Each structure stands twice: as structure tokens, then as C-alpha cells.
Structure 1
Amino acid sequence: MSAQQLDVKKSWQAIRRQRLLVAAIAAVGLLAGIGYAYLRPPMFNASALVVLPPPPQSATGSTVSTQSIETQVYIAESGPVLLSAGQNVTPQLSTEMTRERVKATAATDDVIRIDAKGTSAKQAIELANAVAQVYLVFITTDQKLPGDLGKRTGARMLEQAVNARGGSMLVHTGIYGGLGAVLGAVAGAILALARARGDRRLRLRDEIADAVGLPVLASVSSYRATDPSDWANLLEHYSPTAVDAWALRKVLHNLALDARTGQQVSLTVISFADDHKARPLGPQLAAFAGSVGISTSLVVDQHHDKPSGAVALEIHLVLVDRDAPHLDDSERTTRTVIALSAGTVTAEELARLAVATVADDRTIDGLVVTDPDPFDRTIGRVAQSQRRTGSRLPTLLTGTARRTR
């Protein structure tokens, strides 16, 4: 896959990941477009036609040109005509506004078409007829005008404006609202890409694995626990989905914690104290192991939640500070994993935690990702050197199932 394809794919994933932001800005653009449409209501269009007499013929039968259609169009759009026409409509219009709303064109060599716009059908009709009538007054007067226009031309109104076109508020708001939504979506996409460019948090399983050179053992949906009753419910009544149950079983199997050998084994689950989605992984593992017949106890801050009888699996939950992780006071165990949620940890923070764990004479056996990015199709178990060879690599067809409560 080329670098350009990767950039396009990552950009599209960044936009999809922040689709709510893009949708919100698009909605703002839609509302802004509709508001603009109401502030600038749709214009009605009306047209009037003025016909000029054919040029007179000489005694020899040849046509004598006494008028120029371009000159007549220029006169129809001249300041004096527009000033007088604007004063003859209700409400009155200034010369500048009348000039914006009136357009005279040569329909043929003898017919001038006068198009006028108005905020209502009545205003558009009145303005088109007013310009035509004032123009007729100007070209049929006896006063001195440029060229041969001092003579009466015999021009007359060919067709008065009686109907107006357009003015549909529904179409008008639809056009401006749609345009605003499109512009808002584009702006939202640009903002999403800008935020993604400056976001150093790890979201993909391959990125998380590459940050510390450790495999991702599994991905699990987090259990939302906000108060003591939620934690009690998790420990007593946790019922994972089939996908999560399989992922938790893989964690136990990969760490050799599911074998019923009679020997006591232990596991430390390390996560950042402020990573609310990763903190429940230890209790989730403990509750699941108990549900499949493995006698399990949970140790939190040296306090045991221990069932009666012998314990085959002891799970220690260790929470560390993101900026200064330390594991000095925690008990040693046979296995150690780091739990983190996608999109909450940078490579530097994860590496700092790994260094602190190794400095405490512990071996990290792997990573567990909670709430993986829904657009992540990587597995986090292929070495970075293998991915650089360009060979076809395994990908996830689906993510983890989402829990609804």
C-alpha cells in the first residue's frame, strides 16, 4: 500500500472518528444558510418588452440606420431612467438598488427586454413596467438627446409585465441551507484533520504495540463503573458478550493462567489511574475467571476480595500516575500486563510506564486494549519489520461488541 493511500485512509479514519464534530459544524452551517435565506428572501423576476420601429427606408429602397440597439439598451439602464423608475414604485428604491435589480438586454434588433427583480411579485412587476415606461418617455421626448434620438422614434410597449417568476421560499432555503451544510461539513473535516495532525494519542493496536514493542493480547469492551454499586455489580453479576468472553479467555490462555494445574498463579494488571475505561479490566478478568470455574481473588491496594477455599488465580489491580508511574509498593506476581484504552495514551506515556515496570524488576507479558477504535483493523501482534515488507497481513474483520446498559 502506497504512502499516499495510507495518508488518505488515515485522513478518512480521522474524519470518521470525529464525525460528531463534523456533523455538528455541518448542522451549524445548515442553520446559518437557512438564516441567511430568511435575511435575504428569494427574489421574484418580471419582464417587460419594448419594441422599436424598424429603421426608415430611403427613396432608393435601402434601409437608413437611425438607431442602435446597443444605444437603446444603454439608455434603458442609464442613471436618469433608473432614478425616475425607482421613485415610481412602492416602496421607493434608490438608483443604486434599482441598478442592482434591473437588467436591459436586446432580445432582437428591434426589441428590448427589461428584467426586474423584487422581494415580492408585485414589486418586481411594478419595477419592470416603471423602467419600461420611463424609458419610453426618454426616447419619445422632443428635448435634445444624443445623436438622432431627439426625433420621435415611435417606440411602444410590446408587452407589459403581468406575472413574476421564482420567489419559492422552500427552494431558496433549500439551496442556501444545503450550501451552508456542505461548507460546514468541509470546514468540520478540515478541523478534524487539523486536530488529528496534532493528536499524539495512540489509537490503532499496531501503533500501541509498536510504542513499546509488546504484543496486544486482546481487545475488550470496557465496563462502565462510576460508583461503588457499579463495581459491586461488576464483581457479582458480570456477564460479558460472546466476543468479550472469547477475548478474556484468550488473555488467560496467552498468559497460561487458565490451566487447572493446582498451582497458584497471579497476575498484575497495570493501568493509569485516570484511564476510566481501562481500570475495570482487572475486575472483569477476575469475574470472568470465576464464572468459568477458576477460583479467583482480586487484590486492590493490598485489600483482598478472596473467596472461601483455595485460590487458583490472584489478580492484582495496580493504578499508577500518568506523569510519574511507580510500582514500588505492589506485590510481585507471575504475570504482568498493561491495560489501556485506545486514544487515551501517547507513546511517551506508555514507554514511561514500561520503563517504570521493568525498573521494578517485572516482565511485561503483553498489552490489553479496552474500547478499541471502531475503525481499527490492525491486530497489534505483527512486528513492525514484517509490516514493512509489504506482504499481506492479517486484519480484524470486526471490532469488539459494544455493551449497552
Structure 2
Amino acid sequence: MTEEAVDLRSMWAVLRRRTAVLLVAALLGAAAGVGLLVLVPPAFTSTSVVLLPAVSQSGSGRMGGYDAETQVLIVTSSEVLSRAARTVKPSLPVSEVADRVSVDAPASAVLRITAAGTTGARAEALASAVAGALVAYLEETRGTLLAAQRGQLQERLDTLVASLDAVTAEITATTARIARNGSTTTAGLADAAAVADLTAVRASTVLDVEALRKQLAGEGDTEASVPAGATVIQAASPGTQSGFVTDVLLHVLGGAALLLVLTASVVITANRRDPKLRSRDEIADSVGIPVVASLRVRPPRTAGAWVDLLRTYDPDSADGWGLRRLLHGLVPDAGKERVSSGPFVLVILSMSGDPAGLAVAPQVASFAASTGVTTQLHPAQQPGSAATLWLACAQASKQGNLRPALTVAGGADAEGADAEGAAELVVRLVVLDRDAPLPDSASVAGHAVLLAVSSASATRRNLADVVVAVDRVGREVEGIVVANPDPLDRTMGRLAAPESTGSPALPTRITSRAAGGAGPARAPRLGDLEGRHR
């Protein structure tokens, strides 16, 4: 759980560092959503309502109903939609009409037809066309049913008339036999009974024939058993873009969210693949050396700007306090009567291609002089990438004191023992080639060696190469100064627990001074400077 929390915090920190990129991505996503909305605008919709009257069931007096699903299938059938497709102008393919039309049945005899179109007029025309096609189709179906039923009734009438004629003929023949044989004979009595039965049958048949003739004449309920014509009870409504505001919000917010998520994924993936060290803890743990100070810098680009930095550098209170704590440990006799014979030599290493790290040494020297410590900036070694700073130092060395207590060694004065002897603190700047660091043993000879590196400017391998190169000439990097730390970095640059020995101590004054001789003697290490400064 702890590792997951750390990973989430690191990802959140990465996203916060890329706030501007994410904001631009969100704006581009929103713009893309608006563009999609313009290219494919929400469809206009129009609605018409058709009423299917209830059917009277012949002979029962009851009213029948419709099956809603069946009626919906009728409307969406190719027979109805093809008629509508031919009616609208311009005509549409049947498949497109089927895609644009939806039908529902809010009641068993009511059909609601909704049509979509690119404009309000087209949506309204399509809804009207479909409703009209349905009414026409049902009217044709009704006419077909009436014709078929009339044919059936006519056939039944013809049959009944033929039967009536046969019964009448039979009654006539039987009546004639009774007249010949007499009504009192056994045969006459039988014929009389038969005549009575035939007379009843003829009367019933006559009634049926009259009823059929009335139906065929339109006086009966012949048409009542066939559905009456459907009626459009609501003409197609004006086409409107329903939910337009919702569509706009969905497109804008959806596009912004989608591109934001994709950009965040790319940023997180790219950060994981980036080998450069950002936080103070990462920098310290990469080589097992503590971060002793961190400060913000603005590396100049011209020689004149470098000279102005040496003359006027004035850090804010946070950076000033960090530098002051560092100097208290390095130069305990500042402002007092000199006890030791030589200056304290502070070697600050930086790598080529790191302008922020290059500016650390001039800022340390300028600040130390501003506190009253007699300081000399000594540019000792550079691979060519810091030529502008070296030119500025050469110009500054000819100008004398840039600010009270600050001098710059340049040219032949760079190795002058007399020049160094007049200062309490010598800040020696050594710039090493990032790809092949080869420090000169005389350049890194001093009381303390610090490495200046800016956040996200070096990899673990770059730092290790510098530390190993310094170790090969018999020196040791004892502390790291981080330039321009990540604003979201809340680490302190302490070493991992296995490498730490007890709780971190406050900076301790370094009192030893170089003994006389060819060069400064090795002073106590800066292990006591593990107090970190943001």
C-alpha cells in the first residue's frame, strides 16, 4: 500500500508539473468536440401522430382493438417506408429513411412517428411523408378487404336466391299434388305437412336474402367489420434540435476529458521512461551523497549578464538562509580576526550542458562577499561549454572588486597564490565534460568538494561518472547543491535509511585550515552538513 501511495503521489506530481500541457490538451479536446459538433450537428426531429380507430366486430356489438407491436411493424415495413422515401424531396434511400424514423405506440390505437433530418424542414417533411404513407397504405388495405367481403356476400346471396327458387318450385309442385290427390288422403296429409315446412324455410331464406341485399347496398354493417381509414390527428411538428445544449456539453466535456486522459497517459509514460533525476531524494540516493543546499538560479546568457550577477546577486530569504547556513559551516572565522594562514578553498563541480548548475558557484561567491566574507571566485577548469562565463571572469578580473569583498581570478591570476592568500574563501569552479569527466587533480584540490546540479538535468549515470572521476584523483564529493529544485518536490535529499547513521545533524563549523605547502590540505568532510535546505 505504501508503494502504491508513493507511486500515486509521484504520478500526481508529474501531472502537476505538466499543468500547462494538460490545460492545452483539455482546450484542444474541447475545440475538437466543438468542431465535431459543427461537422456533424445534432439532428432536427419532427413528430406526427396517427389514430387507428377501433374496429366494430360484426354481430357482437363490441369494439375490437389493435396489437401495438404489429402496427409498429407495419409502419416500419419496407412497403410504407418506400412510399415515404419516394414522397420526400429530395428522395431518400429506404435504408436511410429506416435509420431516420422511429415509431412507438403510446396507446393501442395511437402511433407516434418521429423523423430526424439535417434541417427542421426535412425532418418535418419526412414525418409527414411517413404518416401519409401509412394512412394511404391502410386505406388501400381497407378497400381490398371491402372488395373481398362484397364478393363473398354476393356469392352467398346467389346461393340463397337459388335455394329460394328451389324451395318455391318445390312448394308449387307439392301444392299441385295435394289438389289432385285430395287433402284428406294419406298422401295429401303428408304433402300438406311438407308444404308447411317448405314455407317456413322459404320465409327464412327470404329474410336472409333481404339482409344480404341491404349489406351489398351499404345499408347494413358490412363496412363496420373492416377498419375505417386511419387519421393523422397531429400534423408533423416543426423540426427542432431537442437536447442541443446537452449535446454541446457532451461534445465539449467529452472531447476535453478524452484528450486530457490521453495526454496524461502520455506524460506519465514519458516521465517513467525519462532517466533524468528530478527530486532531491533521487539525486542524493543515486550516488549516496547528501544534498547540503538547494537554491534557485537564473543563468545569464551573456558575459555582461554574468558580470551583473556577480555584482548584484541578492537571493530571497529562503535561498539566502540556505546559503548562509552553508557558509557558517565552511567559514567560521568570517568577520573575525584571521587565525589560519590560508583561505578555505571550496571546490564546486558542475557538468557541461547544465547552465543552472554552472551559476551556483558565482552565486555562492557573490553571496559570501555580500555577507562580509572576503571571497574570490576562481574559474579553474572548463571544457569549452562555459566560455561565456570564463570571458565574463576575465573581464571582471580586470575591473577589480565587483562588489565589496569580492574578486575574480582570471587569466594568469587564476593560479596566483598571492591572490588566493588575500581571501578568506576561495570558490573554485570546475566544469567537467558530461560525457567524459576528467578533473585535473590540482583543480579539485581543496578543503571541500561540492557538486552543483539542477533538477531534471542529469541521469544517475552522469552523477556517478563525475563522482568516480573525482575519486580517481584522490578527492571525494562530499555534498550536492541542487539548482532550481522542482517546486513540487517535497523531499529533502537525505540518504536512504541503510546509509544514514542516526538522525541528521545540523551543519558544524569546519575549523581546520590548509597547512602550508604546495596546496591546501584535506579538511574534515562535510558529513555534518546533512541538514537539507529547500
TM category (shorter chain) comes to: 0.7 to 0.9
Corresponding position of 1:385: 498
1:355-401 Cα shifts (integer Å, max 9, x gaps): 111112112220011111111111112543389x9xxxxxxxxx96x
Q: CA deviation at 1:224?
A: 2.8
Q: Is the 8 A contact 2:49 2:113 kept in 1?
A: yes
Q: Is the 8 A contact 2:292 2:481 kept in 1?
A: yes
TM-score normalised according to structure 2 size? 0.67
Corresponding position of 2:309: 234
Identity of aligned pairs, percent? 33
Q: Kindly report which structure 2 residues correspond to 1:158-177, keeping only aligned pairs within 5 A, or say none.
A: 158-166=233-241, 172-177=247-252
Q: Kindly report which structure 2 residues correspond to 1:140-179, keeping only aligned pairs within 5 A, or say none.
A: 140-142=139-141, 153-166=228-241, 172-179=247-254
Q: Kindly report which structure 2 residues correspond to 1:58-69, keeping only aligned pairs within 5 A, or say none.
A: 58-64=58-64, 67-69=66-68
1:200-250 Cα shifts (integer Å, max 9, x gaps): 211111111111111111110012311112111101111211111112112
Structure 1 residues 89 and 224, CA, compared in 2 at 3 Å: closer, same or farther? Answer: farther
Q: Is the 8 A contact 1:271 1:278 kept in 2?
A: yes
| Residues 1:110 and 2:185 are matched in the alignment | no
Corresponding position of 1:41: 41
Q: Distance in 2 between matches of 1:11 and 1:250?
A: 33
Corresponding position of 1:125: 124
Q: Distance in 2 between matches of 1:144 and 1:213?
A: 98
Q: Is the 8 A contact 2:53 2:227 kept in 1?
A: no
Q: Is the 8 A contact 2:330 2:344 kept in 1?
A: no
What amino acid sits opposite 1:325 in the alignment?
Answer: P
1:283 to 343, 353, 362: 362
What amino acid sits opposite 1:205 in the alignment?
Answer: R
Structure 1 residues 335 and 103, CA, compared in 2 at 3 Å: closer, same or farther? Answer: same
Corresponding position of 1:363: 476
2:346 to 260, 267, 290: 267
Corresponding position of 1:54: 54
Q: CA deviation at 1:256?
A: 4.2
Q: Is the 8 A contact 2:377 2:426 kept in 1?
A: yes
Q: Distance in 2 between matches of 1:140 and 1:279?
A: 93
Q: Is the 8 A contact 1:30 1:179 kept in 2?
A: yes
Q: Distance in 1 between matches of 2:245 and 2:62?
A: 55
2:433 to 289, 314, 321: 321
Three-state SS of the structure 2 residue aligned to 1:246 is: helix
Structure 1 residues 257 and 45, CA, compared in 2 at 3 Å: closer, same or farther? Answer: farther
Q: Is the 8 A contact 2:350 2:357 kept in 1?
A: yes
Three-state SS of the structure 2 residue aligned to 1:349 is: helix
Q: CA deviation at 1:79?
A: 2.3
Structure 1 residues 49 and 28, CA, compared in 2 at 3 Å: closer, same or farther? Answer: same
1:82-133 Cα shifts (integer Å, max 9, x gaps): 2332333344332222222110111111101101112222222121111111
TM-score normalised according to structure 1 size? 0.87
Three-state SS of the structure 1 residue aligned to 2:276 is: coil
Structure 1 residues 275 and 156, CA, compared in 2 at 3 Å: closer, same or farther? Answer: same
Three-state SS of the structure 2 residue aligned to 1:373 is: coil
Which of the two has higher C-alpha Rg?
Answer: 2
Structure 1 residues 224 and 96, CA, compared in 2 at 3 Å: closer, same or farther? Answer: farther
Q: Distance in 2 between matches of 1:254 and 1:160?
A: 92
| Residues 1:225 and 2:297 are matched in the alignment | no
Corresponding position of 1:26: 26
Q: Distance in 1 between matches of 2:427 and 2:228?
A: 105
Q: Distance in 1 between matches of 2:233 and 2:485?
A: 74
Q: Distance in 1 between matches of 2:119 and 2:495?
A: 69
Q: CA RMSD in A?
A: 2.7
Q: Is the 8 A contact 2:34 2:248 kept in 1?
A: yes
Q: Distance in 1 between matches of 2:109 and 2:64?
A: 14
Q: CA deviation at 1:169?
A: 6.0
Q: Is the 8 A contact 1:257 1:265 kept in 2?
A: no
Structure 1 residues 353 and 383, CA, compared in 2 at 3 Å: closer, same or farther? Answer: same
Corresponding position of 1:373: 486
Q: Distance in 1 between matches of 2:134 and 2:6?
A: 65
| Residues 1:347 and 2:460 are matched in the alignment | yes
Q: Distance in 2 between matches of 1:91 and 1:297?
A: 89
Q: Kindly report which structure 2 residues correspond to 1:176-195, keeping only aligned pairs within 5 A, or say none.
A: 176-195=251-270
Q: CA deviation at 1:301?
A: 3.6
What amino acid sits opposite 2:98 in the alignment?
Answer: R
> Tell me, which stretches of 5 or more residues in structure 2 are unaligned?
150-224, 382-392, 402-406, 408-418, 503-532
Q: Distance in 1 between matches of 2:42 and 2:356?
A: 52
